[in-house]
Amino acid sequence: MVKKKFDIGPYLYLLPALVIIIVFRLVPIVLSFVVSFYEWSINGAGDFIGFANYQKLLTDPEFWQSMLNTLYLVIFVVPLSLILSLVFANFLNNITRLRAFFRTVYYIPTVTSMVAVSIVWKIIFNQQTGLMNYLLGLIGIDPLGWLAESRGIFQLMFGEGVPAWAGGPSLALFSIIILTIWKGLGYNTIIYLAGLQNIPETYYEAASIDGANKFTKFFKITLPLVSPTTFYVLMMTTITTFQVFSQIYLMTGPPVGGPLGTTKVIVYYLFEQGFGESQNLSYASAIALVVFFIILSLTLFQRRLEKKVHY
């Protein structure tokens, strides 16, 4: 028997991509851990400081404020986007005429740049010259502060009696929430539509024969069978919402993250620490890694949940 000669071919095909991905992805990911444990200026490593950056995070009020703001974003954007996109996908699945047209219309915000749409929405929310207050004016409602309003939405809805901690996201942050849902809704709808189209029609027919109504069919057939898509959409939306940056950078302030820090999200805080005046690269790295571990544990948690609820 002839021993098979070592075949270098496959590695040569892999090489160009491998080099780029190792040097510009794997190395930086590993490096980010290292950087967070050292005093690190742009020119090189300084002293080893161990977990000092992480300890500092625990008592940094701005960090916790940014975390809270990010959490508000996720809590509002993810469920709303999921429910709306599933509903729209369901309706889209029920029609044949104009389906392609609606699909295209819904998807357009996804291909446009966040920078450009942030500029547009910033003006939409402008108190004096914006569309929102113009539309409110048409139906006789007083103008709102939108991006300039630091009070929580629950305080605005239910009056000053609501304590500050229960006030919810500021109206400014809520404006960002609206934009963020709008931007991602089309993508989620299209993904859901693809998921719905994989459910065999025969299940619905069988249910009809058994006398199931619309709602029973939705909750007993559609929802369970589309759950793999739900998990995917849930995961992707959560991950991207955690990384919101451009809309904060462009729409809020000055200073960015305002009013009163109610729109400062974690990735913007990281950016400010790393590339702002302080140029504290190692502190910024520590923040980045905290974000990473939150995202990672959410992903793993969802994976585990998915295995449990698999049909």
Partner 1 sequence: MRDKKIFAFIILGLCGLFMITPFAWMLATSVKSQLEINKGNNGFIPYVEADYLDLAGDGELLRCKVLKPAPGDSLWINIFDENDVIIASYLKVPASKVTHKKSIKFFFTNFAEAWKKVPFGRYFLNTVFVSGISVIRVIITGSLAAYAFARMRFKGKEFIFYLFISMMMVPQPVYLIPSYILLHHLGWLNTYYALIVPWLANIFTIFLLRQQFKSLPQELFDAASIDGCSRFGALWRIVLPLSKGVIATAAIFAFIGSWNSFMWPLVMIDSPQLRVLQVGLSYFSAEASSQTALLMAASTFSILPLVLLFLIAQRQIMASFVSSGLKG
Residue list 90-109, contact with partner 1 (CB under 8 A)? 91-92, 94-95, 98, 100, 102-109
Question: Is residue 284 a contact residue for partner 1 (CB under 8 A)?
Answer: yes
- Binding residues among 5-34 for partner 1 as defined by CB under 8 A: 7, 9-11, 13-14, 16-18, 20-21, 23-29, 31-32
Nearer to partner 1, 29 or 166 (CB): 29
Nearer to partner 1, 9 or 61 (CB): 9
Question: Is residue 208 a contact residue for partner 1 (CB under 8 A)?
Answer: no
Question: Is residue 81 a contact residue for partner 1 (CB under 8 A)?
Answer: no
Judged by CB under 8 A, the number of residues near partner 1 is 97
Q: Between the CA atoms of 215, 217, 222 and 224, what dihedral angle is there, to the nearest 10 degrees? A: 100
- Binding residues among 243-272 for partner 1 as defined by CB under 8 A: 243, 245-246, 249-250, 267, 270-271
Instruction: Provide the minimum distance between the beta carbon of 170 and partner 1 in the complex, in angstroms, as a whole number.
Output: 21
| HSE (side-chain half, CA atoms, 13 Å) at 60 | 18
- Binding residues among 162-191 for partner 1 as defined by CB under 8 A: 182, 185-186, 190-191
- Binding residues among 38-67 for partner 1 as defined by CB under 8 A: 40, 42
Question: Is residue 231 a contact residue for partner 1 (CB under 8 A)?
Answer: yes
Question: Is residue 146 a contact residue for partner 1 (CB under 8 A)?
Answer: no
- Binding residues among 188-207 for partner 1 as defined by CB under 8 A: 190-191, 193-195, 197
Question: Is residue 37 a contact residue for partner 1 (CB under 8 A)?
Answer: no
